[in-house]
C-alpha cells in the first residue's frame, strides 16, 4: 500500500522568509496530492492540491511542486506571516478512486515575528 513520508517534522522560520516542506510517496499509481493546514485546536483544511498531470500549482503565497519520477512533492510558502503557523499535512491518493487519502505525519511550522 501507499506510504507517505514528510519532512521536516518541525520548521521554524522568521517572518518574511520562505518555508519548504517535502513529502515522498511510494505508490507510483498515486496521482492526487493535497496539502492540509491545521491550526492549533482546529480541523484540517485543504489549502492546495495538485494532480499528476501538472508539475506546479500556485495560489498567492503558496505553491506545490511535483516530481513524478522521483515520487516527491513539496509545499512552498513565501513571505511567511505569523498566521501561517500551523501543522501542515501532505497526503497522496489515486484521483477518482475510493477517495482514501494516505497522510504524512505532519510538519509543525512556526513563524516568528
Partner 1 sequence: NAGVTQTPKFRVLKTGQSMTLLCAQDMNHEYMYWYRQDPGMGLRLIHYSVGEGTTAKGEVPDGYNVSRLKKQNFLLGLESAAPSQTSVYFCASSPPGLAKNIQYFGAGTRLSVL
- Decide whether 67 or 97 has the Cβ nearer to partner 1: 97
Distance set, CA 38 to CA 42, 45, 67, 69, 73 (Å): 6, 6, 25, 29, 19
- Decide whether 78 or 110 has the Cβ nearer to partner 1: 110
- Decide whether 105 or 112 has the Cβ nearer to partner 1: 105
Tell the smallest beta-carbon distance from residue 24 to partner 1 (Å). Answer: 14
Tell the smallest beta-carbon distance from residue 90 to partner 1 (Å). Answer: 9
Run of H or E including 14: strand 10-14
Return the number of other C-beta atoms located less than 10 Å from residue 41's C-beta: 5
Tell the smallest beta-carbon distance from residue 49 to partner 1 (Å). Answer: 7
Amino acid at each position: 500500500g501507499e506510504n507517505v513520508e514528510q519532512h521536516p517534522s518541525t520548521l521554524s522560520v522568521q517572518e518574511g522568509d520562505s518555508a519548504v516542506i517535502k513529502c515522498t510517496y511510494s505508490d507510483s499509481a498515486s496521482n492526487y496530492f493535497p496539502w492540509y493546514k491545521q491550526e492549533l485546536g482546529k480541523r484540517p483544511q485543504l489549502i492546495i492540491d495538485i494532480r499528476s498531470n501538472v508539475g506546479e500549482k500556485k495560489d498567492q503565497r503558496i505553491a506545490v511542486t511535483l516530481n513524478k519520477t522521483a515520487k516527491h512533492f513539496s509545499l512552498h510558502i513565501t513571505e511567511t506571516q505569523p498566521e501561517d503557523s500551523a501543522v501542515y499535512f501532505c497526503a497522496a491518493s489515486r484521483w477518482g478512486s475510493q477517495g482514501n487519502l494516505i497522510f504524512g505525519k505532519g510538519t509543525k511550522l512556526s513563524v516568528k515575528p
